[in-house]
Amino acid sequence: MRELAKLLEARLIVAVGDITAFSGDAIVNAANSGLLGGGGVDGAIHRSGGPDILAECRTLRASRLRDGLPTGQAVMTGAGRLAVRAVIHTVGPVWSGGGRGEPELLASCYANCLKLAESSGFESIAFPAISTGVYGYPRNQAGSVAFRTIASFAREHALPGSIWLVFHSEAEANAFLEAISPEASRESPGRTP
Ligand code: ADP
């Protein structure tokens, strides 16, 4: 995992790589509401983490999440063989034009994951670009929702101290940095990403 930039007084680290290689307290899974695995980052997390994560998801589905995890919400499991303490699963909105509450739901994903991490006393958390794969959320708009939600959470909470946004390619990471550049300079006057 390669760091590209630090924003929000170094609380937000923008990186490129495979999120399953993150070592820290938690990684976020862009899951689907069934919680039983899928493609993209979800598949990668279950492949690298091994069967324990899926077993815990199945238990959740058989108990307090019988109808699945609603969009915008988050739930935590162990991390199997991954080099983190927990996986926080969240369900991003499927993009359908932007008029169906997608920005609010995507913001809830980031905020709810951060709340879970904070209440667990976690120092570090790594997010993938939720909803921007199969769920089709336009990357620039998703980036700006992610940035604003993280910035506002970071202003009010001391934990997690390190919040990573991990992009799968350098092109995606650079597009994110470009999209949020005006907002980023408002958050940290005098600095540019
Ligand atoms: P969603 O269904 O929420 O759109 P996807 O898994 O399809 O989720 O994609 C979310 C983002 O995760 C995409 O930008 C994709 O490029 C990225 N991604 C896929 N695999 C990985 C990985 N191993 N590490 C980091 N990001 C990944």
Burial of 76 (C-beta count, 10 Å sphere; 0-12/13-18/19+): buried
pTM > 0.95: yes
Cis preceding-peptide flag for 193 (omega within 30 of 0): no
Residue 186 pLDDT: 84
pLDDT digits (tens, 9 = 90+) for 45-99: 999 999 999 999 999 999 999 999 999 999 999 999 999 999 999 999 999 999 9
If one counts every other C-beta atom within 10 angstroms of the C-beta of residue 139, the result is 17
Q: What pLDDT score was predicted for residue 184? A: 87
Q: Which of 50, 35, 2, 43 is nearest to 164 (CA)?
A: 2
Does the pLDDT of residue 155 top 80, yes or no?
yes
- If you average pLDDT over residues 32-57, what whole number do you get? 97
pLDDT band at 190 (very low <50, low <70, confident <90, very high): low
40 pLDDT higher than 90: yes
Q: Is 12 helix (H, G, I), strand (E, B) or coil?
A: strand
CB 6 within 8 A of CB 163: no
> What are the φ/ψ torsions at residue 77 (nearest 5 degrees)?
-130, 175
Domains and their CATH numbers in the chain = 2-187 (3.40.220.10)
Give the whole-angstrom CA distance, residue 109 versus residue 83.
23
SS3 60: helix
pLDDT digits (tens, 9 = 90+) for 20-30: 999 999 999 99
Name 124's Cβ contacts closer than 8 Å, sequence gap at least 6. Answer: 24, 25, 26, 160, 161, 162, 163, 164
Annotated catalytic residue within 18, 42, 52, 67: 42
Q: Determine the number of helices (DSSP H) and then strands (DSSP E) in the chain.
A: 5, 7
67 annotated active-site: no
- Which residues line ligand 1 at a C-beta cut-off of 6 Å? 18-20, 30, 40-42, 44, 92, 128-135, 166, 168
Atom from ligand 1 closest to the CA of residue 130: 3
